[in-house]
């Protein structure tokens, strides 16, 4: 990438970060371009859709999120690991108001962070299914749908942590195999 193209990309990402934090993900992309000091055509050449821009803006965070989840390793049981993953995914999603409705699309964009987050969620799901703790008919897409629903339900709360934990627990209890031992949530 040419130096000026790299500079424009970096300016767009920095501006998007600032504008999304201030006003949410549904802000006008023209406002992002203006804040970055580039034309809207430059923004669209780099990021053809809002979801592309969101995915690029989230990529580093999602990489860190996936690494943190992996580092927990096998220290916690499969249900608790998936519950924690779901809660944390919702917290990351709620960082910018308005992202929840686009979460599924954003995760499919293919940035390194989006891929790592999806792969880690799929790994945790498979781990739980392999040991018989999670129903075999559950797919990663189901987790994304639930993360979206929980994000939408909590993104306007001033202190959403308890509600996120409760809703994630309701979902995890619903997908646990009946014979799976009940895991008490651990603090991670």
pLDDT tens for each residue of the chain, 188 residues long: 588 888 999 999 999 999 999 999 999 999 999 999 999 999 999 999 999 999 999 998 999 999 999 998 778 999 999 999 999 999 998 888 888 989 999 999 999 999 999 999 999 999 999 999 999 999 999 999 999 999 999 988 878 899 999 999 999 989 888 775 555 566 55
- pLDDT at 95 (0 to 100): 87
Instruction: Report how far residue 104's alpha carbon sits from residue 123's, in angstroms, rounded to the nearest whole number.
Output: 17
- pLDDT at 159 (0 to 100): 81
- pLDDT at 11 (0 to 100): 95
| pTM of the full structure | 0.86
Q: Which residues pair with 176 in a beta bridge?
A: 134
Residue the block writes with tokens 């989006």: 114
Contact assessment for residue 76 and residue 49, using Cβ atoms and an 8 Å cutoff:
no
Instruction: Report how far residue 112's alpha carbon sits from residue 23's, in angstroms, rounded to the nearest whole number.
Output: 26
Helix 140-154 × helix 161-175 angle, to 10°: 150
- pLDDT at 182 (0 to 100): 56
Q: What are phi and psi of 26, to 5 degrees?
A: -90, 5
Tokens read off for 44: 């669209």
Contact assessment for residue 143 and residue 81, using Cβ atoms and an 8 Å cutoff:
no
- pLDDT at 1 (0 to 100): 59
């Amino acid at each position: 990438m040419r130096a000026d193209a790299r500079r424009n990309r970096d300016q767009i990402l920095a501006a998007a970060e600032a504008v999304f934090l201030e006003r949410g993900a549904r802000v006008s992309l023209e406002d992002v371009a203006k804040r970055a000091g580039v034309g809207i055509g430059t923004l669209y050449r780099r990021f053809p859709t809002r979801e592309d821009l969101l995915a690029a803006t989230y990529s580093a965070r999602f990489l860190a999120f996936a690494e943190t989840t992996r580092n927990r390793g096998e220290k916690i049981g499969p249900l608790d690991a998936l519950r924690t993953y779901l809660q944390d995914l919702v917290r990351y999603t709620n960082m910018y108001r308005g992202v929840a409705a686009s979460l599924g699309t954003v995760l499919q964009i293919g940035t390194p962070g989006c891929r790592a987050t999806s792969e880690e969620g799929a790994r945790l799901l498979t781990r739980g299914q392999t040991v018989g703790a999670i129903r075999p008919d559950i797919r990663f897409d189901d987790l994304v749908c639930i993360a979206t629903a929980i994000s939408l339900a909590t993104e306007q709360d001033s202190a959403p942590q308890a509600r996120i934990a409760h809703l994630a627990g309701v979902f995890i209890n619903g997908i646990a195999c009946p014979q799976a031992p009940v895991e008490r949530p651990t603090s991670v």
